[in-house]
Chain A
Amino acid sequence: MEKIIYTDIAVIGAGPTGIVAAYNLARLGYKVSLFEKEESLGGNILKTYKLFPNFQSSNELLQLFGEMIVVNNLSLQTGVTVTNIRKDNNHWISTTNKGETIVSKAVLMATGFKPFDAHYKEEYGYGIYNGVITSLEFEKMLKCGEIYGSNGITPEKIAILNCVGSRDAKVGNNYCSRVCCINAVKFGIEIKEILPKAEVYCFYMDLRMTGQFYEELYRKSQQEYGVNYIRGKISEASQTADNRIQLKAEDTLLRLPIKMTVDLLILMIGIEASESTKELSAQTGIMGEYGFAKSHSLLKADNHTIHPGLFIAGTCKRPFTYPETVADARAAVVEIQHYLENKT
C-alpha cells in the first residue's frame, strides 16, 4: 500500500551536510524528513579514520551526528533511496524505492560525492597488483591500526600519489578535488607515527595548502617527520619479481626520470558527483559541469537552484572540505527558512 508522508522539508542524504541542515531546520521548528540510502548515517565520513588538519577522530563526529538526529521534529529513515523528485504546484513530491511518497514544501539535496574509481587509471595497476590501494582503503588500514604492503607484511617504502582522477582531462575531471593534498600530508604523518622507519614519498603536481594550518602541517611533515615530496606524477606502476611495486616517474624539479620500488602505493582518489547527485540533478534539469548539481548563482544564491523550493548544499555542488560543507549546510538552512516564511 502506498504511504504518503507530509512534511515541511525533505532532506536527501544523511552525511555531514544533510544531518547539520536537518538538525538546524528542526530546531527552528520545521518538520524535517531526512533520507539516507545507506543503512548507517555519516556518508563519506564513515570511510575515514581521522580528519585533517587537527587529527580529530571521525568517530567523535559520528557520535555527534547520532546526538543531533534525536532532536524533535526530525524523522530519519536509513536504507531508503529517493529515486525521483518533481514539483507539483506549490509542493515537491519525492518518491522512494520503498514506495513512499513525500509531499513537502521544500527539498534540500545533500546527496554528496563519490570517490573516483581508480580502475580508470589502469597504469597504476589498481585491482591488478597487490599493494596498490586507494586513500579510503588506507583509512581503513589506519582504522585497524595495521599497515600492510604488497607482500602482506609491514612496508618499508611507501609512495603516495596525488591527483588520481582530479585535474586529469583524460578521465574527464579537469577540476581540483580540494581535499587530497592536505589528506596526503596527513597520511605522511600518520604513517611516520605508526612506522617511524618507513620511507614515505609523496608525488604531486602542485601542493595546494589553502586552508588554515595546512601549510604548517606540510612543513612539519617534512621537518619533524621526514616525509619526502617529489614534484611529478607517477607515469606507470608495475609488479616486480618479488611482488613489490615498481614506479616510473619524473622529478620535474630535478628534471630527472625516477625509478623506485615500493611496498605500498596509495592513490589519493578525487571527488566525483555521486550517482544520486547525477540522477536527481538530471531529473530536475540542474546538472552542471562534471555531473555536479548547479546552483542558481555562485556568488548570489549558491544554495538555490533554478526551481524555487529546491535547494542544494555540500559536495553535491562541488568538492568541499568538511568545515566548508558544514558551513554550506548552515547557509542552506537560512535560505530555506526565508523561503518558507515568505511563502506562508
Chain B
Amino acid sequence: MNFHPFVLPFLIGFVLFFVITACKFTLWIRHLTVPQKKTIRDNIISRKTFISVWEAIREGLIHRNIYKKNPLLGFMHTSLALGWFLLIIVGKIESSVYFGKTLEAPWETIFFRFFAHGIHSYPGAKFFAFSMDFLLMVILLGVLLALTKRLHSNVFGMKKTTQQAPLDRIALTTLWFVFPLRLLAESSTSALYSGGSFLTASVGKLLTGVVTPEVSLGFWWGYSIAIGFFLSTLPFSRYMHIPTEILYIFLKNWGVTSQETITGFTQIQVNSCSRCGICIDVCQLNTAAKINNVQSVYLIRDYRYQQLKESVADQCLLCGRCVEACPVNLELTLIRKQVREKNAPSHNIPIDCTLQIHKSNAEIIYFAGCMTHLTPSIISAMKKIFSSAKVSYHFLDEQKGICCGKPLIQQGLLSESRKLRDFNTQLIHNTNAKTLVVSCPICYKSFTEEYSLNVEVLHHSEYIERLLHNGRLRIKKSSLKMVYHDPCELSRKNSRKEEPRNVLQQIAKLIPTSVEKNNSICCGGSLASTGLPPEKRKQITNHAIQKLTENKPDFLITSCPLCKKTFHQAKLIEVLDIAEISAMHLHEEITPISRTWEGSKQLAHLFSGKKLPETFQK
C-alpha cells in the first residue's frame, strides 16, 4: 500500500466528516415523531426510493431548480457539485484500473497523481488524464464564478447575496483553496515527472525548472490540509447541506410531513439550507422596505447556530414568496412558525367559547370571519348575492364570531389556537351543513389546512364562480378595467388563482399585472408580522399598489378583506372585493346602496313617512 505522511490531514478530516455526519443524522432521525418514523418504515421499500435517487442526482448534483431560477448560479453550483462528484468517481475508476484492485485506500484515489506519477500505459490512461483535467478545469471555473458572486453579486442578477457566519467563511475559504492547490500539486508533479493532460501538463511546463521536489511536496501537503480542513468543518458549516439535502429528499419523497412543533424533520430542513440567498431577492421586506437581514436564510442560519433574535423571527409577513422560490423546497414559513412557537412566551389568553349551537337546514353556512366584520360592505354584498341567487344560508358568525385560530398560530400560540379549532369544528359540524362558504382567505386556509372538517369549504370567490356557472347568479358586463390582486393565503398553497379571474372576466375587462398568480405579492397588511414598523408596512403597501396599477386600471379587485382594507387605506386607488364588484353587476334591478349620509337619511325618511326638512331638499 502506498502511504506518505502528507495524507494525514486529509485522513483525519475524512474520518471526522463521516463520524460527525453519521452522529448528526442519527440524532435527527431519533427526534422524528412516532408517526413520522412509521411513514419512513412504510415507504422505504417502494418506488419512492428510486424517485428520491433520481431527485437527489437532479437537485444535489445538477441543481435543476437553481438553473430554472438563475442559469448562471445554476452553472456555478453544477460545476462545483457535479464536477467534484465526477472527479471522485472518475478518479476512483482510474485508481482501481491502475492498482488493479477494487478497494484501495481513499488517499490512493484522492492523491492518485502523487503515488502514480509519470506517463502511464494502462488501458485508457490518456482518456483518464484528459477527463480528470477537464473536470478540474470545470471546477476551477466554478470557483472563479463563486469568487465573482461574492465580490459582485449583481453579475448573477442577484441584488443581495447571503452574509455568512464566521465558521462558514472559514469553510468557504478552504473550499476555494482546495482546487487551485490541487492544480498546483498535480502540475508540479507533471513538471518533475511529466504526465498529466492539457491542463496540468501545460501548467507543469510553465513550472518546469522552478519547482523542486520539496516545493511539489509542499503543494501536496497544502492540498491535503485544505481538503482535510474543509471536511472537518463541513458538518458545522453551511456545507452540511450537501449530505443533509439528500437525506431530506428521501424523507420528503417517503411522505414525511412536518408537525406543528419542531421535530427532527425541522432540524433536517434547517441543515438542508445551502444559503444560496434566492429568498432574499424575492422578499418584499428587501425589495420594498430595504430590510435585508430577516429573510428565511437568516432565520435558518441564526436558528441553527442558536443565535435567533425576535427581530429576525417576527418581522416576516409570512407571504410565502420565498417558499415558492426556494430551490431546495424547504417549508420556510412553516419553520418560521415552529421557531416562533419556541420563542413565544407563555400567554394566558382568556378564550370565551360559550356560543349557542344551532342546527340549520340552510343550503350553506356562511362564515364571514373577523376581518370581514371589519369590512362590512363585503358582508352586505354577500347577502345581496345570496338573495339574488336564492341561496338559503345560515350566517354562522353574524352576532358574535370566534376567530379561526390562524393569527394565533402565526404568533406561535398553538395551544390557544387548538382550543378555538376544537370549538369551531364542533360549531360547524353541529349545523349539519354540507357546504361552508368563507369570506376571509385566512379562515379559508385555516379551515382547509389546519382543521379536518367533514364539510366542503369554499372561499366566496369560488362560490360566486359556482353560482355563475350553474346559472343561479346572472351578472351584467361593464366596460371597466380591472386588475386582480391574489391574496397570499389564497394564491400559494391553496391555489385559488383561476376562480376569481373567471368571475371577473364575466364582469369587466381584466387586465394582467406583472405580479400575479405564482409571482403574487403581499399587500403589507399581513397579521403574521408583529415586529414590522408601520412605516415599513406602508412602503410595502405603496410598492405593491404601484406594481399592481402599472396598467392604469379603474379598480383594484381583491378577494381578501385584509388586503382590501390595507389597499383602501393607502388612499391611492379605488379598491373593491370580488363580492362587492359582483354585487354591483347583478342582473336584476336593485336599489343602489346608499353610500352617503344624505342617501341614508332619505331612506330613513321613507321608512318613517316623514317629509324631509326644506334645508335638505336642495
Residue numbers of A with Cβ under 8 A of B are: 119-120, 122-123, 125-131, 133-134, 137, 140, 143-144, 146, 148, 150-153, 169-172, 235-239, 259
User: CB-CB < 8 A to B616: which residues of A?
Assistant: 144
Does B452 reach chain A (CB closer than 8 Å)? no
With A and B bound together, what is the CA distance between A143 and B596 in angstroms?
Answer: 19
Contact B595 A120 (CB under 8 A): no
Contact-residue size bin, chain B (C-beta under 8 Å from the other chain)? 20 to 34
Residues facing A in B351-409 (CB within 8 A) are 373-377, 380, 400
User: CB-CB < 8 A to B613: which residues of A?
Assistant: 144, 146
Quote the shortest CB–CB distance from B569 to chain A (angstroms): 5
Quote the shortest CB–CB distance from B584 to chain A (angstroms): 14
Contact A128 B374 (CB under 8 A): no
User: CB-CB < 8 A to A128: which residues of B?
Assistant: 376-377, 380, 593
Q: Which residue of A lies closest to B595 (CB)?
A: A127
Contact A152 B604 (CB under 8 A): yes
Contact A143 B569 (CB under 8 A): no
Contact A130 B600 (CB under 8 A): yes
Q: Which residue of A lies closest to B610 (CB)?
A: A152
User: CB-CB < 8 A to A148: which residues of B?
Assistant: 601, 604
Contact A134 B604 (CB under 8 A): no
The 8 Å CB contact of B594, one of A120, A127, A237, is: A127
Does B534 reach chain A (CB closer than 8 Å)? yes
Contact B376 A238 (CB under 8 A): yes
Contact A129 B376 (CB under 8 A): yes
Does B122 reach chain A (CB closer than 8 Å)? no
User: CB-CB < 8 A to A137: which residues of B?
Assistant: 597
* Given contacts A122-B565, A143-B615, A146-B613, A130 and B571 within 8 Å (CB-CB): no
Contact B607 A125 (CB under 8 A): no
Give the interface SS of chain A, mostly helix, strand, loop or mixed.
mixed
Give the interface SS of chain B, mostly helix, strand, loop or mixed.
helix
User: CB-CB < 8 A to B593: which residues of A?
Assistant: 128
Does B547 reach chain A (CB closer than 8 Å)? no
1/0 contact string of B538-576 vs chain A (CB within 8 Å):
100000000000000000000000000100111100000
With A and B bound together, what is the CA distance between A130 and B473 in angstroms?
Answer: 27
Does B608 reach chain A (CB closer than 8 Å)? yes
User: CB-CB < 8 A to B605: which residues of A?
Assistant: 152
Contact A172 B374 (CB under 8 A): no
With A and B bound together, what is the CA distance between A137 and B598 in angstroms?
Answer: 9
Contact A172 B608 (CB under 8 A): no
Contact B373 A151 (CB under 8 A): no
The 8 Å CB contact of A133, one of B375, B597, B615, is: B597
Q: List 28 A-B contacts (CB under 8 A).
A: A119-B595, A122-B377, A122-B565, A123-B373, A123-B375, A125-B376, A127-B594, A127-B595, A127-B597, A128-B380, A128-B593, A129-B376, A130-B601, A131-B604, A148-B601, A148-B604, A150-B604, A151-B604, A151-B607, A151-B608, A153-B608, A170-B534, A170-B569, A172-B569, A172-B570, A235-B374, A238-B373, A239-B376
Kindly name the residue among B374, B596, B603 whose own CB sees the greatest number of chain A CB atoms within 10 A.
B374
Closest 4 CB pairs of A and B: A152-B604, A152-B608, A123-B374, A130-B600
User: CB-CB < 8 A to A237: which residues of B?
Assistant: 376
With A and B bound together, what is the CA distance between A152 and B607 in angstroms?
Answer: 7
With A and B bound together, what is the CA distance between A125 and B608 in angstroms?
Answer: 22
With A and B bound together, what is the CA distance between A134 and B600 in angstroms?
Answer: 13
With A and B bound together, what is the CA distance between A278 and B534 in angstroms?
Answer: 23
User: CB-CB < 8 A to A134: which residues of B?
Assistant: 597
With A and B bound together, what is the CA distance between A181 and B208 in angstroms?
Answer: 91
With A and B bound together, what is the CA distance between A123 and B380 in angstroms?
Answer: 13
Contact B373 A130 (CB under 8 A): no
User: CB-CB < 8 A to A236: which residues of B?
Assistant: 373-374, 376
User: CB-CB < 8 A to B615: which residues of A?
Assistant: 140, 143-144
Q: Which residue of A lies closest to B533 (CB)?
A: A169
User: CB-CB < 8 A to B569: which residues of A?
Assistant: 120, 170-172
With A and B bound together, what is the CA distance between A128 and B380 in angstroms?
Answer: 8
* Given contacts A120-B571, A133-B597, A144-B616, A169 and B375 within 8 Å (CB-CB): no
Quote the shortest CB–CB distance from B392 to chain A (angstroms): 17
* Given contacts A128-B380, A238-B373, A122 and B607 within 8 Å (CB-CB): no
With A and B bound together, what is the CA distance between A151 and B597 in angstroms?
Answer: 13
Apart from A119-B595, A140-B615, A152-B601, what 6 extra A-B contacts exist at CB < 8 Å? A122-B568, A123-B374, A130-B604, A131-B600, A131-B604, A172-B569
Contact B603 A130 (CB under 8 A): yes
User: CB-CB < 8 A to A152: which residues of B?
Assistant: 601, 604-608, 610
Q: Which residue of B lies closest to A169 (CB)?
A: B534
Contact B374 A122 (CB under 8 A): yes
Q: Which residue of B lies closest to A149 (CB)?
A: B604
Q: Which residue of B lies closest to A127 (CB)?
A: B595
Q: Which residue of A lies closest to B596 (CB)?
A: A127
* Given contacts A146-B613, A172-B538, A122 and B375 within 8 Å (CB-CB): yes
Quote the shortest CB–CB distance from B527 to chain A (angstroms): 13
With A and B bound together, what is the CA distance between A126 and B538 in angstroms?
Answer: 24
With A and B bound together, what is the CA distance between A172 and B535 in angstroms?
Answer: 9
Quote the shortest CB–CB distance from A132 to chain B (angstroms): 8
User: CB-CB < 8 A to A238: which residues of B?
Assistant: 373, 376
